[in-house]
Structure 1
Amino acid sequence: MRRINIAPRTDWQQTAEAYGFHFHTIEGEAYWDESAYYAFSLQQIERDIEDPTAEIHQMAMALVGEVMRSESLLTRLAIPSSHWDWIADSWHRGQPHLYGRMDLAYDGTGPAKLYELNYDTPTSCYEAAFFQWLWLEQQIERGALPKGTDQFNSIQDKLVLAFAELAKDLPRPSYFSSVRDSIEDRGTVDYLRDCAQQAGIAAGNIAIEDIGLSTTGTFTDLNDTVIGTLFKLYPLEDLFADRYGPALTTSGLQLIEPPWKSVLSNKGILPLLWERFEGHPNLLPAYFEASEPTALAAGWVRKPLFSREGANIRMRTAEGRTVESDGPYAGAPHIRQAYHPLTKFSGGYPLIGSWVIGDSPAGIGIREDAGLITRDTSRFVPHVILD
């Protein structure tokens, strides 16, 4: 694994705008960064990323059924009891899921280590699936990369196939939704909606704030049309707490991602995995925080159960230094995970997002930050496979 500098395409910003990538720059700083790329060998991709991704995913999926049978585990995950039966029903009925992203620490020299699962509202899908592939094709065409250069990236093809499977049984009409004022979320949802349309799913688009609740308890659009299926880039735990949250259990609405994903999008899945697979080479020791937290001698990372985008992280390094990020999750229960820092390359600290579409590993995207905590503003840097 190497970080290699390369001249950016002179027209990359115009290209991004032309393809709907309107969040390539965030708050005046480049989010998409093609001044370098990360190069992997095929063996590193297959042995150290793809195979562990498949194994960790199966381990996590096996846990869902166990959690569904245990009120104690649901309580440990701080999932509200008002929605337990609804969540369990979605699992037992086999409500389908679309995708997820696991975040891995990896530097090319040892087993990748799982930081967390983003299995409900994973972002950076568009840039990982489409725009970095476009970058690869154009850099090869322009002679900046050798012919035959590859990328671990079948994300878009697998998304379309997954939507085609979903299309067989989804209640109609279907809608795609995100928060109105988030350019990044809207861009991600627009891309996924396009993939769904390629698979034959005719779907509307609606801001999460515009979804209403009818007098009969169904969720509706602005024209009072009942929504059958809703893809929502909006956290399940926030839906539970919403004023319309109680209606979810009886509305008949089918969600993508389904309610049972609330188990896997929860940081509490990390200590549960460690309890069952202690010593696994791709896992880090992790524990539910107690009044006397389990000692983690070489440092630790404290994470809220429901945090996203690097918010409210508190890190104690092996040297005793404290690193923190702010955010809105300060009151939530926490876990502690063993400290395993990202490796510093010339551009910063890269975190690998390994995508799972359906139940199959599909590709990676790399986020790079100047600090040890990867945040929503961390840069996206493309990758290639070079042997």
Structure 2
Amino acid sequence: MQRVELRPRADWQQRVEAVGMNYHTLDGDVYWDESACYRFTASQIDVLDDVTAELHALCLKAVQAIIDRHLFKQLLIPDWAVPYIVDSWERREPSVYGRFDLAWDGNGQPKLLEYNADTPTALLEAGVVQWFWLRDCYPDADQFNSIHEKLLVFWQDYRQRQPSLHFAGVDSSDEDSGNLEYLRDTAVQAGLQTQRLAIEQIGWDASRQRFVDLRNNPIRALFKLYPWEWLLQEEFSPYLPQAQPAMLEPPWKLLLSNKGLLPILWELFPGHPNLLEASFADKPLVGDYVRKPLYSREGANIQIRRGASLVETGGSYGGEACIYQRYTPLPEFAGNFPVIGSWIIADQPAGIGIREDKTEITGNNSRFIPHYFVEN
């Protein structure tokens, strides 16, 4: 794994906008950054592929263990939602995607930092934008990237269950809107009928006991780019079990979409080479650790304790329970710290995207860096 400095394409802004990415610059700073890329070997990509499949299998086992041991309170899941989640799992409701964030420098074993199991973004840049970059800049190389193809296969299968689908998200976020529209576009390409609306435009029809869109049409299936933990706090969320719209991601993903998964995985599979030691707050780790709130996002409210030094970020997630995870250093390349986001699409490894920052805490504006690989 090498970091290679490059000269960006002269018209890179127009090129990425042409494939749907209008958020290439955030708060005046470059987000899509092609002034560098990461170079892998084919054998390193094989490692990432295998590890992603392994972590996915461990997480599915963790779902069953959480249900069997009734660990919902540790994950701050309200009592009323438990039967809804369990029913979703027992019916094996399908899951579109997820992203494992890994620490790795190309040597040894990748380590799981966290699992973005519910509302992962950076999908458009990983699946499409970096692919077109590869064709322009390294046409003879390859890329760990079958995201687009696997999404089309998923939607083709899903169409047999649900021929139409509503897509909802937070329209005020350009990044969320770009990712949501990309997912919707892949569903359209696969033959589904789709409708787009903002999450706050979803209505509840009390007389017919169903959720509806702005035209009062029933929402029978919903893809929501909106965190489950937020959705459960909405006024009408307790009606979900009785209305039973098909949900993507499904309710059982709640069990994987918070940091409480990390100590549960460690307890189930202690010493696993791709896991880091982790614990709940009642058993804080001794030594170097990272403290994470159960539901923090985009690097908020993270605390890194390394020897006598303490690094922490602000945010609005500090009030709830937290977990402790054994500190592992991120690889450093010329003052840059990359995190590899490895995608699962329809239960299969599908490719990677890399975010990097000048610090070890990856935040909302951390840059996306493309990659390629060559034969060993």
User: Under a length normalisation based on structure 2, what TM-score does the superposition of the two structures give?
Assistant: 0.97
- Give how far 1:19 is off: 2.1
Q: Does 1:338 align with 2:329?
A: no
Aligned match of 1:160 in 152, 155, 164?
Answer: 152
Deviation at 1:219, TM superposition (A): 0.9
Indicate the percent of aligned positions where both proteins have the same amino acid: 47
Q: Distance in 1 between matches of 2:186 and 2:107?
A: 35
Whether the 8 Å contact between 2:102 and 2:339 is mirrored in structure 1 is: yes
User: How do 1:159-178 residues align onto structure 2 when only pairs under 5 Å count?
Assistant: 159-170=151-162, 173-178=164-169
Report whether the alignment pairs 1:294 with 2:323. Answer: no
SS of the equivalent of 1:3 reads strand
How far apart are residue 56 of structure 1 and its match? 0.9
Question: 2:310: which partner in 1?
Answer: 322
CA distance in 2, matches of 1:42, 1:225: 49
Aligned to 1:85: 83
Q: Tell me what 2:23 maps to.
A: 23
**Deviation at residue 233 of structure 1 after TM alignment:** 0.5
Cα deviation digits, residues 113-146 of structure 1 (max 9, x gap): 000100100000000000000000011xxxxx3x
Partner letter of residue 42 of structure 2?
L
Letter in 1 for 2:105: D
Post-superposition CA distance 1:332-377 (Å, at most 9, x none)? 1110000112111125100000000011101000000111100110
| Equivalent pair of 2:285/2:324 in contact (CA under 8 Å) | no
Could you say what secondary structure the match of 2:311 adopts?
strand
Tell me what 2:346 maps to.
358
Q: Is the CA contact (8 Å cut-off) linking 1:180 and 1:209 kept in structure 2?
A: no
* Matched residue, 1:285: 277
Distance 2:44 2:312 in 1: 31
Cα distance in 2 for partners of 1:295, 1:77 equals: 19
For 2:11 and 2:85, how far apart are their aligned partners in 1?
47
Work out whether residues 368 and 378 of structure 1, in 8 Å CA contact, stay in contact via their aligned partners in 2: yes
List gaps (5 residues or longer) in structure 2. none
The AA in structure 1 aligned to 2:270 is E
- 8 A contact 2:164–2:192 mirrored in 1: no
Conserved? CA contact 2:141–2:373, under 8 Å = yes
Which residue, out of 200, 225, 230, partners 1:209? 200
**3-state SS in 2 of match to 1:76:** helix
Are the counterparts in 2 of residues 278 and 285 from structure 1 also a CA contact under 8 Å? yes
The equivalent residue for 2:190 is: 199
Question: CA separation in 2, counterparts of 1:199 and 1:68?
Answer: 34
Residue 14 (structure 1) aligns with: 14
How far apart in 2 are the matches of 1:320 and 1:54?
37
TM-score with structure 1 length normalisation? 0.95
Given that 2:45 and 2:144 are in contact with CA atoms closer than 8 Å, whether structure 1 keeps it comes out as yes
- Cα contact 2:278–2:285 (8 A) shared by 1: no
Aligned residue in 2 for 1:120: 118
Contact 1:347 1:368 in 2 (8 A): no
Query: One-letter code of the match for 1:294?
Result: P
Which amino acid in the other structure matches residue 29 of structure 1? D
Partner AA of 2:320 in structure 1: A
Q: Deviations over 1:52-86 (max 9, x none)?
A: 11011101111112222332x11111111110001
- State which drifts further: 28-37 or 248-257: 248-257
Do the aligned partners of 2:40 and 2:372 also contact (CA within 8 Å) in 1?
Answer: yes
Question: Structure 1, unaligned stretches of length 5 or more?
Answer: 140-144
1:182 matched to 2:173? yes
Q: Distance in 1 between matches of 2:129 and 2:49?
A: 21
Aligned partner letter, 1:189: L
1:189 match: secondary structure: helix
Root mean square deviation, CA, Å: 1.1
Give the partner amino acid of 2:186. Answer: C
Q: Distance in 1 between matches of 2:248 and 2:96?
A: 7
Match of 2:142 among 137, 150, 168: 150
What is the identity, as a one-letter code, of the residue corresponding to 2:53? Answer: A
1:261 paired residue number: 253
- Look up the SS of the partner of 1:241 in the other structure: coil
User: Which residue of the partner structure matches residue 234 of structure 2?
Assistant: 242
- Cα distance in 1 for partners of 2:63, 2:352 equals 24
Aligned-partner Cα distance in 2 for 1:18–1:26: 18
- Contact 1:350-1:368 at 8 Å conserved across structures: yes
Whole-angstrom CA distance in 1 between matches of 2:179 and 2:221: 18
1:135 match: secondary structure: helix
